[in-house]
Structures are given as structure tokens and as C-alpha cells.
Structure 1
């Protein structure tokens, strides 16, 4: 073992000598890094030489934070590659640079504002119109820096969509923002800030020059970053930007720059990049020299082998230790980064001058700023002004090493300008040279805690004020054994004892009835299933939170009893253990007396209300129902027990019958005016069941003994029947007026139509052999009949029952109307007919009903100008004695067919709903509607003993509901019989008519049929002719409306002269009352104008064939 050691020692000695020798030989052959960089003077023009004399010193803005390029020495003097380079350049040109270190973004502003003359610039993004650009003096590649744990790096394309940190204002920012890969660029004011952002995961990568970043990573001792690769951008070309007004200096700089060779540039740069390798070994020369001496050292081969073996083992061990150390470092760095980013509190690194250089996500959330906006803000920007002075003073004390840690509750300012409370803990870090680096600040959100603390303080203050001011309430507190600890002034007033007599000396048992305590103790024992006695009764009531037994009888010091409401609660400590009882009581003795008196009054009032026939509701001055009698219960649909305590608006729901809109609360009207108020005439009460009642009511104030209004009483009654009768009477009067007008018009029209149709019929027979004339006469006849139908519709206003009633299937009538509608209305409107029964028999006039259905269908189509759907649906319904009214229209009990005609049109405005059936009321433009359509429908339905209602909603449509009484079970369908054949006859007929055309056509028709005819142009002439020979006439065809003597009076006079005379009343319009009176007096028959020869001859034969 000793021999091996000696051999090993000798081998090491020899090897050391050989290496020393080799290094000495190599060192002698290496060039010196400080080789001569002198050069002949520049060849300058006279203008350039004169310029240098005028400008011996040039102000130069240089970066202050680029390791190896420009940085400050221990004394603060700038040094670095750029300083050496520009000093050399200035010495060759014959002037001096005055250096002004600053951050890069500040250099452009300084030169622009004439604070400096030139600055170090990059070529690519400069605005050349503002500065003169010298030739580049060096070029460096741009690299991508990432964390060492980043995997899957594929080169420049890996940056797509990533968050990339850059040095603000430099070339990488310009290139990254214009990169088509769409990078999220985050600019930083310093390179260390950007590198730390990548280290902490606040950015995915950084783009910068290789030299500066490598040196910065080493200086900042950042161990988890690496240079992942080069970018696809061009190399970073550095140059000098010169004032625009110095073109001569540009030429001088370019000439001086051209004299410095690339080798000289490299030597100067290497001097700052790798100072530890200034005497670089030439390994090729070394191997040659080593080879020459290998023979001398052959005897050391065995020792070398042993030494190599040991060395490998040591290298392997050190390599493994280094790997483990790196893994531990990575884990530690990840934990630190996770702790920083995922901490539940805000964390920030702040430079001594106040600028935030790092912040975690939680702080961003607290302040409401995105990270890129928060970074580089000053802590003064987010600090409430009240705390700013203290913070600045404390920061200076920490810089001076007077304070190590600073903690304070203060307010921060959010991005929206609002304030919130935080707890700040700050420590200042120092570098190895004891220079301050940055503050580490931990920010905890305590806003809710501070607010709660303020609330608690305010609550305590308020409680104390309550105790001090609660003279009307008794407040007593005890400990767990019942000894009184608090006895306020209200307790002294109510019980008569002083606090000095009670506190610490007595228990509440003193002023309570023993019988009452025993009664409550028994009750609580049953509830809690444990024995309760003595003072425990108060603890039990507090535990149960029982408010049902809160009324107690207290005993005053002088012995009289007091009724009190006593509320009890447990006083608990921090462990939720009961340590006492708090009781608050109020003297309610007077209230008890008042309540008894009130109950007696209320009982008398209830008896009175039950005896009133009208509905009565009483409320308080807030509109809450306090009383109501049985009649009110019936009309509102609310039971008194359910209604009391409810708002009047819930119970007493009233609407306007015309607009269907809610009516304002009558209570409010009474309270406002203080007098009796009546509701409008159109007020409808809607019960809880949906039943509607027309009501008449009034509201009056209820006053206290002092005259103050304490409530309102409403008295109302059901006037639905009276209102319905009034409405029907009003409608009847309107229809009667329209009927009279329509009758007069129809009478004149019928007279004219009678002459037209009669003459046309006679001419038709005379022109049978003239086809062309016959065709024209048919047109005249058809037009006359259509005009006759129109006048018949006008007469519908004056009838009380159908003019031609028969038993018919109303479904067939509806179907005929639908067929006509499909040919008439807009084809974009779909018509849907739904029915449950195949037939529905009613008694009525099919023509009138068909016209009514047509009117409703046409009206619906006018409401659907862009198309829509018209639905007609029928179903049988039954009304009993309880169903007296539908929409305030009286209806008789029985079986009805309900016909719903629904459209999807624009709807009817609420204010128009109650007027749509009025004659001449229309909402259409002038010339588009007469206002008679729906009035005629209403009149037709009334003639058929039915009713019609309407419901509508704007922009959704309308629904007309028709109720027609169904025919009896024994009714049979009656088909209409039409027979226009003429019947000839004999006899003497007098025709009385004031219209000549009617007399002429009647004579021609009757004579053609074989009758002898006598004419009279008015009633007087007819009566004179009749008086001459009362027995000489077989029949009189008598007009109704004539001058001098009308048809009725003429008929009565003829009846007196010849009671057996047969008379046919020929009328264009006759009021039903007149017709009935004549029928009672013996009128044989009547025929409606205009008539044709066929119906006239048939009616004459029918009358003449009657047996007296």
C-alpha cells in the first residue's frame, strides 16, 4: 500500500511538472488580449475638424442595465464593452463622450428633448425621420430563454400563442409584436424583471440578446432558466442614433467606426464576457508538447491508470451528487414558484424606489389589474393617501436597516377606484454587498374582518346607548345562579327598586308571583323532560325561546301587580356555555286594559256588521283588512279569517268594466281627501273564484277620538242586475233609434225597388222572344233583389225577432258562410271549423245569421292584414238559474250552442271593447267602415234570444262568443220552400199606395192575373172610394206609410165599414208595435216590399180562400 502511494505521488508530481511546462510554452505563443489597438489618425475634412473644435464633448445616452455591455463599477462610474468601444472611437476621432446612463425607453426622450446628443440604438424599429443612424458597430443573435423544465421545445414556432417577455423599447419588442405567430407580448422595464417573470411562470419565454441575458442570469443567480434556442429573427444590429441637425458628426462616427477591425471588437467583447479565460489554452499545441514528453513518463503509466480509475470514480460520484442537487434545486424552485403563484395571499416584489417588479395572481385579483398592467406600477399608485406617508417613512427605515419587518393594516385602491382593507407584511432583501434589492410584500385581504370589527364596535356602542336610554323598558341580567348583575333605570321605574337594592343581592324571584313560576316550571318540565324549579324556569324559557308564555305578572315594591311582556335569552361565553340570563320587559298593563275594551267594542261591531245587508270591509290606515261581514265574504269569495291581515288590494279586486284595467285603491283616495268617496259607475268586483259583480260602493274614513284617521270602511252592494237592465235598456234605445232610421230608409228604398222589380218582371214576359233584352232584364232583376236584401238587413235593426223564422241546422249556416268567406277574404288567412256535434238545431232566420257570421269573418280578416288564422268552434253549453249574467248580459236558463269566432289579428284596444256594438262606432279610416256591421250582428243575435261577448288582447287577437238557444228535442229540421209561380184569379181588388210606380206595377200585374183593380194614392182617397161601396171589394192591398191618412188608420176605418173585408198590408217598413195592433184588429196578412208577381198572387189566393 505504501509503494502504491509513493508511485501515485510521484506520478502526480511529474504530471504537474509536464503541465506547467506545457502551459508556459503555450502562454508564450498566445497573443495578448490587450493587444495594440492604436491606429493612424483619421483623415478628416476641414469642415469635420472645425466641427470637432466646436463640439469637443458629446453627450451620450447609454443603457444602464446591460451586463458586460454597460454597467456601473463600485464607484458608480459606467464601464463595459460599449464604454471601451466608444472611448476608442472618440479617441481616434479626437473628441470626448460624456456618458449619461439611463433605461432604454428614457434614452429616446432624452435625445428628443435635447438632454443628450446621441444614444445607443437598434437599426430595425427606429424612426429615421427623427434621427441620423450611424453604421452598425456590432451584431448579436437573438435567443429564446425558457425554464429548464419546459419540454417539447421545437424552435421558433414553439412561441405561437405564448406569453413572451421582452425588454421594453428594444428590438425584440418590435419583432415580437409583428410576429405572424401571434405572440402575447409582455414588456418589462428591465431585463432582470423579464427573466424573473419567466422564472416564476408569469411568462412562458423571453426573447433577448444572448450575451446580455447570459450575463444577467449569472448575476441574478437564476438557476431554473436556460437558452432553449435561437429565434428566426435577424441578428441584433446595434448602432448610434444622432441628432438630425448633426450630419457632420455622422460622417465622423462612420469614419472612426470603420477603423476598428472585427478582431479588435471581438477582443474587447471577450475581455468583458469571459475575463476568467483571458489566457486561453491552445490545446493543439499542448497535445504536441505533451506528446513529446510522453516517452519520458512511460514509467508512470501504471500510476496514471490507477489515477484515472480513481478519477472516474470521483467524477461519477460528483456527477451523481450534482444531478441530485439539481433535482432538489428544481423541486425547490417549483415549490417556490407554486407557493408564489398559488398563495392564498397577495405577494409582490417591490424595488426600493417603489416600482412593482413581480406580483402573483392573487394580488392581481385583489386589485383588479391584469399582471402586465400591475407590473411596473408604483406602490404609491395602489396605496390610500392616508397611509402613504407612513409607508414611505417605514420603507426608508428598512433601507437604513433600522427596521427588519414592517406590518400594518392599511387600505389599497382597486382598479375601479374603490378601497379595501389589507394586512401588509414587508421585508427588504439585500445582496452580498449589503445593497438593498427589493421588498417582499405579503398582502392579506382583511376587508370583511375590518368591516365586521367596525360593526361589532358600533353594535357595542349602540347596545350601551340602548341600555342608557331605555327608560321605558326593563332590562335585567343575571349570572347563572340568578343573581342580578344589570338593573337599568327602566326596571327601577317599573318595579320601584333601585339598582343598589338589586345588583349582586337579589334574584328575579323577588318580583315574580310564586304561583306563576310554579305553573311555568311544570309546563317546561314536560317539554324538556327534566325537573324544573325555582330560577331554572327563566333559564328553561330562554333555552326554549318560548314566546307563547312571555306575559308575566310582576309585583311592584309597593305590592301592586304589573302586566309585562318579558323576553329572555341566554348569555353564553366563548365555549357556548350559558353563563347568565338577559331579560327585557315592557309594562303592558295599560295595553291589557285597552285590549279588553277593544275586544268589547269589536264584538259589538261584529254584531252590527252581521246585521247589515250591504257588504262591509274595514281596513287600517295602511289598507290592511281588519273586519268584513258575511255579505262581503260572499261577494269577494274570501272567508273573513283568511282576509283579515291581507292587503285590501288582494281581497277587494276591482277593475273598470269598460277598459278592464285595475281601478285605484279606494282606501288611498279616502286617506288623501279625508272624506267619503264613491267609486266610478263602471266598477266591477272580481271575486277570488273569478265571478264578476257590478258594484256600487262608497268609502269613508274611520277616525279616532282625536279625529285622526285610523282606517277606512268600505260599503258596497251588488248592482249587477240593475246595471245589466240599464245597459240593455240603453242598447235597446240605441237600436230602436237606429231601427226607426233604418225603417224609414228601407221604406223608401222598398217602394222604389218595388217599382223596379215589378216593371222588370212585366217587361220580361213581354220580351220573351228577345233574348238580348231578356238577359238585360235578368240583370235588372238580380240587382233589384240584391238591393232588396240590403234593405232587409237594414230592417234587422228594427226587428225584435227573426223575420222568417224556421228550425235550421246552424252548422250548415256556418258552413255556407265559410264557403263565401273563402272566396272573399285574403287567401293568406286559414279558416278552421271545429265542432263536437254534427247538427245543432235552432229557430231563426238563416239569412240573417249567415250575414252575422259573414260580418264577423270579414271584420276578423281586416284585423289580419298579413294573413293569419280564423277559427270557428262550436260546443253545447247549459246555463242554470245561478248563471244569470255573462259579461253583464242577462241570459235565460237552458241549453245553448256556444260559437267562438277567434282570429290572430291585431286585437281591440281595451278602451274600445265596450263600444264596438254601438251603431256607427268604428275605428277604421274614413270610407273603410260604416260602424253598422257589428251593430247589425248584435241586433241579429238579440232577435234570436242569444247574447254575444268579446274578449281581445292587443297584438294577439280577438274572440267573439255567441250563445244561441238550441231548439227543443222534438224540433224537426225545416227546409226552406221557395215557389215563385203565379196564380191567376178573379175578384175586385183595391190597391192603395202613395207611390205611383207601385200602383202602376200592381195594377198591371193583377190585371194580367185576371183581377179587376181600383187604385188609390193615399188613405183618404181609399176610404172615400170604400165608403161608396163597402161590399164591392173582395180584397184591399194597403200600404202602411202614406201621407194624409196612414195604413193603420185607414185599415181600422175600413173595418168599421165592413168588418169582413180582407186586407193585405203591403209595407216597406212597419214597426212591430203597429203590426201587432193591426193584427189584433183583424189584419188578414201582410207582404213585404218589394214583392214580385208570384209571391203576391200566392198571398192573394191564400187570403181569398180563407173561410170566415
Structure 2
């Protein structure tokens, strides 16, 4: 557009210049023609003066003829000659007056002679007699005068022609120069005018763009002077006061504000900021509405000076924080409830920053050991000094194993010194809960439980009772944590959902978008916190899945090489690529670490060779004979060998018994190999040991092989999916309903939304033929999502239903499928994922109807 305007501008200059040049050429031609005409007139006069000489000569000849023969014919010719000379002299005199008065004076000398001759001729007519001698005398005088006149006339005519030409040329140059300057001035004025117009238009466009930007900002933006006059206000302020922006601009703030006292206080703060020239940033303001509800605002005021009139102004930006504050209060309330639940379970909480070595503890952790809160300190080195010396090395080794990413939960028992000097048995239950992108653990969290009474009781009965009590406590925590997680996830769904909607509507790189990214980061951290709480509360075993033993072996060897002394050499033999086993990854990892650690301890300080071998074996009938637990089929055979002192044949059959150990007191619990056998057996495998005194020991582990390797599905990038169908959204949380309605409305869907499940049933009864899909929460008053879905499916069996839940142990994908529910989605809901699920179910439903 700007290039087009520039082309038009330059074209206008060219046209003006061409018109000016044409006008100058025309004036020059006109002036030149005027000079030419004037020159022609001078030459005409000169021509008549030359003719005068010829006429006088003719007159002399006629006089001579008449004197010799005074006839009537010659007389008539003589009179005509006199008249012609009169005429010539008149022309010369008249023309000479235009050029030079001096010629006029000389030319008049001719008249007396002409008059004398005329008188003589006239007298001759009357008297029929001519005085020829007098006429000759008059002619002589006439000739002399005529010669003088011709000479002077020639001089003055030539001078006049030369002066006239110079004068005309000079005047033409002056006129052309003047006209050229006028054209240049005109072009300059046109350029200045056009540039001023362009700058004015550009300034106007910039102001309009700024106006639109300010109006799009959802916060209240208002510029006022020291007297409270509104200089600028955006649409948000206009909506707040119920006035259009043009009417609001120029008004006094106190006149349009609904609460004049409040307005006066605001203006007083304005004047203070202007006078001190010190900005106020993010000041919190709480306003109580007529209905008793509170609203939170963040107010910033920045003073500045107008560049137009140097007027002192203030820029006021007010942001409504009510939604965020309400969410924070609900989160805080949920945290308090969680704290009460943990106190009820008599658990001490700890949170360990692995990078800084600083740990934070709950109050119960301190009181459990008899210390005051904050005593003896937060550094982990101080905590280590409280561990019983006999337990310290074991605890360090176990923590070293578990303090890595994806290592699972740990439960370690050891003794801690109390303030009175006595020791209490503590059950430390924890897990690494945060790692960086490089797989380095950053933070671990867990609980402490005082199990002193359990340990001091009998090994069998008291241990079982303690385990039962622990299980009940963990079950109670799981129940409480589940309920709290439901509330947490509802809150986080609203926070993350609205934040994503607001972020998607903002420009990349803008400060508001960056602020919302931080909100989303904090929300996702809160989501991870809920997951950690639920993880600690679960008592069920991990789900088994296909495991590649060769990969797991490599991880174990890498860890052992980092922990075992350099005197122990580790080797691995693998017979090519083979299948997988169906196993719990963490449990298999645990037994491998146990066997490798036992082998290293058996070789002692002198070191030796630790060998691991993995081969595939197809066992036939003769291979499984005499080996209980093995059947015909394909197995993965894992061997762990050492060249230590070996095991006495007398006790080799007892090494897998619980609490049997050959180690010194305090160096082994006797449960290691029992656990190994239990885990292997639970995986439908077999384990035994071969040993020869003085040559070492080999443990053989057989696991059934599965032929179909499990390949991880690549997770495609999830983006928001659009549609035009009709949805019904049901959730007892208003913020979630509003968020989902806004989300799917912006994606093009028609949305019915309600917080009342009974009301949702009424809507469905009336509009079930229009509704294409239902999204419902599980936990709602009066009617759960499961029951609501069942009633809707009775009316419309083909309707796709998505069930959302913050936490439910009973609800699973399989259970939902049995109920006819299309999809189970866990909160907090990811908006892009939910939109993709909706789109997939709608497309599947349409395909089913079409077929």
C-alpha cells in the first residue's frame, strides 16, 4: 500500500512538471512572437523611409518635365507625387514616435518644404501658372532635409531594433526565470503537503492500532490526570462503568464511578503517585460486593508526562484475580485436609532436595523423635548422624540403589537416635519424584513411621500385626488421598483449562502469554504432586508387562560397576537377540541387584570375577525331568556366577529359607534369597544354585519367554480437534463446566452444559436426538456419572459417553466398557487430548451409523 502511494506521488510531480514546462514554453513563444511583430513594424517603417527617397527623386523629375512641358497630365502626376510624399513622411513620424522621439524632431523638418511645394502647386492651380523656380528651390531644400532624415533615421532605427531585441530577450529571461522559481516553489509545497498528509494518516493508523490493542486487553486500563480527568480508557473500563468509551473519555473519574468515596480514595492515591513520581506495582486490593462476596484485584500505577502538553498523567492497570485467588484458597483448604489426614495416620513427611542436600520435614517427624520443630536441622548430613552405626552403611547402600529415576518405591527399616539418646525403629517409605531431562534425580519424598513396638515384639506375630496395621494405615491414607486427589484434580482441571484457553488467545512472545506459561508449569507441578501422593498410598503390586532382559541386564551392570570396587571384574554374555518375559520390571531389577551384591560380598576385598549370562533355551521333556517348576517350552536362562569361596553343600538347600543367613550379625537379614525365590516363583519361573567349595557359586534363573515383543507406540502430537456436533457437558464444578463449554464452543461445537446431573437428564430426555456426545463427571451429588450414563444409554444406546474422574479405585477402562461407556478420562483433563477423544468417538459413531 505504501509503495502504491509513493508511485502516485511521483506521478503527480511528473504531471505538474510537464504542465509547468508547457506553460513556460507557451509564454516564451508568445513573447518571442511579440518581439518578432515589433521588429517587423520597425522594418516596415524603415521600408517607408527608403521609399521616401525614391518619391522625392520622382518629384524632381516631374518638376523638370512640367517646366519643359506644362501639360495637365504632368501636373496631375506632380500633385499625386506631393501627396505620396506626405503619406510617407506621416508613416515615418508615426512609427518613429514608438521608437525614438529624436526621429520625430528631424522628420518634421520635411513638412515646411512639402507645404511650400504644395502651396506653389495650389497657387499654380488657381492661377494656372507655376513658379517653377520656387518649386525647384523647395525641392532642393526637401532633398537636403530628406537626406538628413534618412541618415538619422537609419541610425536610430538600427539602434532601436538592437535595443528592443536586447530588452525583449532580457524580459523573456526574467519572466522564464521567475516562472521556473514559481514552479519549483509549487512542487516543494506539493511535496511538503503530501508528506504531511502521509505522516498524519500514518499517525492516525498507529493510534487506531494502539486503540484496538488496548481494547483487547482484558484488564482495566485507564489514563488520568492529576485532577481525575479520564484521558484514555479501554473497553474493559467502559463495560465496568456502563458507558461507551467516547463518553467516558474526558469525564471525571469521580463523576462516573459508582462509589464516589472509593473514587476519591483512588484519585488521592493517583495524586500521591504523580507527586512522588514513584510507580506502584501489583498492589492487592480486596473489594467486598453487596452480596458479601469478595473480589481480589491487582493494581499497578505508573506516572508519566504527556509529550503533547507536558501534563502529569498516571497509567492505571487493574487485573481481576478473583478466580485465581479462589482457586488458591481451595488448594490451601485441600492441603490442610491432607495434613489432617497425614496426622491421623501418624506419619512424618519429608521432602529431600538431592541437589542441595537440604530436607524439609513435617512437625510429626520431629515430635516422633522427641525433637522440637526445626531441631536438629535440615541438612541431610545431620540426619545421617542420627542413624544407628550398625544400620548406616546398609541404609546408604539401599538409598544409593533407589535414588535414581524410575527406581520405584522403597521401604527401609533402620534405627534413629531420639533426643533422649535412645533409638526408635523407623520405617522410611519414599520415592524419587522429580528428575531432570538428563535422567538425574533432583528430589525425593516420603514418610516416616515409628515401628519400634513392632520390631521389639516377636518376629512372627508382632511383625504380622505391624504389617497389618501399616496396611490399614496406608489404606486409610489411600482413601483419604483419593478423596483429596479428586478435589485437587477438579481444581487443577479448571486452572489448567482456563489458562490454556487464555494462552491460546494471546500472541507468541507476549508477556501475558509468558505469565500463563508459568501458571501452567505450576499447575503441572501440582498435578505431579497429586500423582506422588497417590503413588505413596497404593499397596498393590505393579502391573506386569513385557520386559527385555538384555536391556535390564545392561542397566544392572552399569549400576554395579559404579558401586562395586575395582577389584571385582564384571562380564556379560548374551546369545544373540531373543524374546521377552512378562514381568514386573522393578522386581526383576531387585533380584538381579540382590544376587550381584551377594556375589560381590562373597568374593570379599580380594575381588574376583562376576559373570552374568543370558541365553535362550528350548526345553524338551528330558530337559525338565527332575526340575520341579519347569515345563516344556521356550525359556530365558539367566546365570549369575562368582569365583568366591562357594557354599558348603551341607547348607546349600537352606539358602532360600526365610531368615537363613551365613553372614555375621548385623550384616544380613536372611531375607534376600527368600525374596529372590518368591519373586521368581511368582513369575512362573524357577531358581536354584550350584556351588563348589573353593570355586564359587552359580545361580540359575529360568523365566518363560513370550514370543511377541511389545513395541511402544509412538505418541503423536495432540492438537485441538474441531467439530460442529452437539455436546452435553455435566460436572458439579461450575468452573469446569464453564471451561469445557468455552473450549468446545471455540472449537465449533454446539454445547449444552449444566452442573446438575438431574437437570442434565432432563436436557437429554428432551434433546437426545440432537445430542451427539456426552461428557460427564463421575462423582456428583444426587446422581453419579456411572448411573447417569446408564440412564442415558437406556434412552439412546448408541450415544458415546466420556466419563471423567479425579480419582476412583473402582472405575477402570474395563469396567467402563462393561457399562457401555465409550471412554474413561482422568482429571486434570488435558484439553487437547480431550478434544481428540471427542473427535475420535464422534467419527466412530458417524461411521457406525453410516454402515
| Normalised TM-score (structure 2) | 0.31
Structure (1/2) with the larger strand percentage? 1
| Normalised TM-score (structure 1) | 0.24
Structure (1/2) with the larger helix percentage? 2
